[in-house]
């Protein structure tokens, strides 16, 4: 059976500067807000905005429309699937 050493945990927490007093209510709010923004971020697929990855089609307008739409919706990820765009 593994033996626990709580004093070692406290020492390592002090070395990394982690204490209970650093996480007040305001900090908790910002942490939750940050992760909720990440969770609500959308993924915009360039092929849904007209980009074709065949290596022949010029996709400049489709890529720009995808980026603009993603920005207008509050941010997210612009997904470019495999292909030659």
40-70, pLDDT tens digit by residue? 678 899 999 999 999 999 999 999 999 999 8
What pTM was computed for the model? 0.54
Portion of the chain with pLDDT greater than 70, in percent: 53
* Structure tokens that stand for 80 in this block: 């470019």
Q: What is the mean pLDDT of residues 23-38?
A: 64
Q: Rounded to an integer, what distance in angstroms lies between the CA atom of residue 81 and that of residue 46? A: 8
Both structure tokens of 2: 């593994």
CA 25 to chain CA centroid, nearest Å: 23
Separation CA 26–CA 63 (nearest Å): 39
Domain definitions of the chain by residue range:
6-79
In this prediction, residues 9-28 reach a mean pLDDT of 55
Cβ neighbors of 37 (< 8 A, separation 6 or more) are: 75
Q: 6-10, 47-51, 70-74 — which one is most confidently predicted on average?
A: 47-51
């Amino acid at each position: 059976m593994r033996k626990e050493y709580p004093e070692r945990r406290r020492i390592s927490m002090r070395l990394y500067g982690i204490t209970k007093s650093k996480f007040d209510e305001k900090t908790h709010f910002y942490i939750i807000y940050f992760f909720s923004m990440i969770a609500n971020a959308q993924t915009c697929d360039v092929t849904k905005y007209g980009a074709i990855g065949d290596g022949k089609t010029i996709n400049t307008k489709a890529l720009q429309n995808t980026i603009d739409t993603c920005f207008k919706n509050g941010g997210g990820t612009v997904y470019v699937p495999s292909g030659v765009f």
